Copies of this chain bind each other. A is one copy, B any other.
Amino acid sequence: MNLDWDDITHVTKIDPAKDLPRDIGVLSETDAIIVGGSDGVTAENTLAVIEQIGEAVPSIPILQEPYSSDHVSTDTIDAVDLLAIPAVYNGDREHFVGKHLDLFTEVGNKPEELFGTGLPVLGDLIASKGLDAVARMADKIVGEGYVIQNIESKAATVSGVETAYTTEQVAGAALATEAFYGFPIFYLEYSGTYGGPEEVEAAASHLDDATLVYGGGINSRRRAREILDAGADAIIVGDCFHEDPEQFRATVPS
């Protein structure tokens, strides 16, 4: 599926290890949903959430953003529209390219005698149906050039991020995305803290084809507006979806 990022301004990030709010119908106000998290996430709880959301709001695109191959199964891959895979610029080699190569080496080399077995393999990321399935899965993957700015976050620990980027480095990573790595998405992740507009502006000045998304601490109409006005193409709202439906509604641009 080719998502049109021009139509997407508000994205909800749902953590499968956290409780869903009572009224998930509020999701009808968002443009896309990303399912992902760190602690306590499994392929099973991810699939359960995807299925529940898919039933509640069937017309909203759903992406899975796995931090680990444990989060993924052939069932989760089949259930989502896209697999958004972070490549963390300010992390270690493993989390920019190492694990990605492991994934693609597995995907690219599955022997064809597994054609048609259809067995989901926990932790194994491919649909075992030969080269066509390889191409299909590869089409479902969208790369995210990621900068993790909250170094206290679990995401930072997992990805080997030791320092946040300066505004100049954020601009450089954005330009690298636009000019060299070609990820469709450039993602500024502040994980529950509010980073403000300055780095969004710096990144936006170098991004054209790539979609600029910002996540972190968006819990009000004012913050949502500030980040979008600074040049973000889309805001990612996570915590207040789980914790405060009124706050969540306020973040949706009118």
Contact = CB atoms under 8 A, between A and B. Distances in A.
Interface of A: 85, 87, 89, 92-93, 96-97, 100-109, 131, 134, 138-139, 141, 143, 168-169, 171-176, 178-183, 205-206
10 contacts: A89-B97, A92-B93, A97-B181, A100-B176, A105-B171, A108-B174, A109-B171, A131-B205, A141-B179, A143-B181
Number of copies of this chain in the oligomer?
Answer: 2
A41 B101 CA distance: 31
Contacts of A143: 180-182
Contact of A97 (B97, B101, B134, B205): B97
A95 to B, nearest CB: 10
Contact of A104 (B107, B138, B141, B173): B173
If over half of A's interface residues share one DSSP class (helix, strand or loop), that class is named, otherwise mixed; here it is: helix
Contacts of A131: 205
B138 A178 contact: yes
A180 B139 CA distance: 9
A16 to B, nearest CB: 24
A175 B89 contact: no
A97 B96 contact: yes
A72 to B, nearest CB: 15
A109 B168 contact: yes
B96 A172 contact: no
Nearest to A98: B93
Contacts of A139: 179
Contact of A181 (B108, B172, B181): B181
Given A103-B176, A104-B172, 4 more contacts: A89-B101, A105-B168, A141-B180, A143-B182
